[in-house]
Structure 1
Amino acid sequence: MVRVSTENRSQPETTSGEEPAPQAPKRRVGLLAAVALAAVALDILTKVLVVSNLEGREPVRILGGLVYLQLVRNPGAAFSMATGMTWVLALVAIAVVGTLIWFAGRLRSAGWAVGLGLVLAGALGNLIDRLFRAPGPLRGHVVDFISVFAPNAEAFPVFNVADSCICVGGALIVLLSVLGRDYDGTVRGRK
């Protein structure tokens, strides 16, 4: 008869009375993918709604004028810079997406997974516009629609959900770095 042990085998075995070595935190690829997919879906949905409802309309004032919704087609980068370089921006976005996907297997920090998932979503959301919107592949204009404090980018450039994801994800990564939390789940300064 074979006897099966019901002991927890997830604990590392120790020899000579030493404490068990700590296990590495689990990989966070699934969390990164879930955040990225949810944010890309939200970006696509909002852009579809904006194009179908705001095309040819005056800016819509909401929240007492704190935010205006208006359709702007942006051929450039953030803040409409590099408007003649749309194809270069598309290639840069492809490189960023590829790098983040390659790097994902090393993630063991939930915070970093969320931050990089948001950055990945932002890059993908705007890349989708550059690939599939007019005037054509690698030259498509990004749909922007959020103007804060005043319409027509009078107070701040018009942006979209993808842009917000890039900014929030980047800020989270900077914050984690300042706090000493590394992508691999380690905390600098702790022993």
Structure 2
Amino acid sequence: MAKAERITSTPESGPGSGADPGADSEPGAEGGQPVEPDPEPEQKAGRGKRRILALLLVAAVVYALDLGSKLLVVAKLEHHAPVEVIGTLLQFNVIRNRGAAFSMGEALTIFLTIIAATVILVIARIARKLYSLPWAISLGLLLGGAFGNLTDRIFRSPGVFEGAVVDFIAPAHFAVFNLADSAIVCGGILIVILSFRGLDPDGTVHKD
């Protein structure tokens, strides 16, 4: 009887028992082999770095063009008669503006300086989760324009944080402005378009 029980009994483990030798292997492993890490976080991080680079490149180009144009017109055109570019429809006429874009708010110079610095800080915060190229371009336009006018506020007369911004693009029947103002307006318009289309800075699309 004992011999029959030994023959008919089924072993719980051991060779030929059908037990999976890798059952107690590393959690999440299949067949005892380690699971490959998901490449998606690495790809997303790389894409984020490229978008930040695009933002900084756009900002650098805007800032260089704005600063260079201001230095040129101050040296060549200030205290001279306006230069006609397209007759009287578009002229270069250098003025010193202590207000905001398009000569608005001249009594609020120091507050406008604070606002420009705040915009730069907000853009830097958003850039940490930036994965959208259109957003990178629009924020780069804002950043370059804000830096351009902030440079004037800090370094030009009459004093630090109260400096007058150099404006020189003078269309007929319109306020005089500069390239930094143009970049800020274009960046703002692009952000409004992206928001209406539901595209967020992190690249996701939402629908209200």
TM-score computed with the length of structure 1 as normaliser: 0.82
Question: Where does the alignment leave 5 or more consecutive residues of structure 1 unmatched?
Answer: 1-9, 14-19
2:102 and 2:181 in contact (8 A); partners too: no
The alpha carbon displacement at 1:12 in A equals: 4.0
**Where in structure 2 are the equivalents of 1:1-191 lying within 5 Å?**
12=38, 24=44, 26-27=47-48, 28-148=51-171, 150=172, 155-189=173-207
With a CA cutoff of 8 Å and minimum separation of 6, indicate the structure with the bigger relative contact order: 1
Counting matched residue pairs gives 168
Question: Where does the alignment leave 5 or more consecutive residues of structure 2 unmatched?
Answer: 1-35
Give per-residue Cα distances to partners, 1:20-62, cap 9 Å, x unaligned: 99x6481111110000011001000000001001111111111
Mapped partners of 1:103, 1:145: distance in 2? 32
Mapped partners of 2:122, 2:110: distance in 1? 18
2:102 aligned counterpart, secondary structure? helix
Mapped partners of 2:99, 2:44: distance in 1? 42
Most deviating of 137-146 and 59-68: 59-68
Give per-residue Cα distances to partners, 1:172-191, cap 9 Å, x unaligned: 111111122211111225xx
Paired residue type of 1:47: K
Mapped partners of 2:66, 2:122: distance in 1? 21
TM-score computed with the length of structure 2 as normaliser: 0.75
1:106 aligned counterpart, secondary structure? coil
The alpha carbon displacement at 1:78 in A equals: 2.2
2:94 and 2:168 in contact (8 A); partners too: yes
2:128 aligned counterpart, secondary structure? helix
- Between Structure 1 and Structure 2, whose CA radius of gyration is higher? 2
Mapped partners of 2:87, 2:204: distance in 1? 45
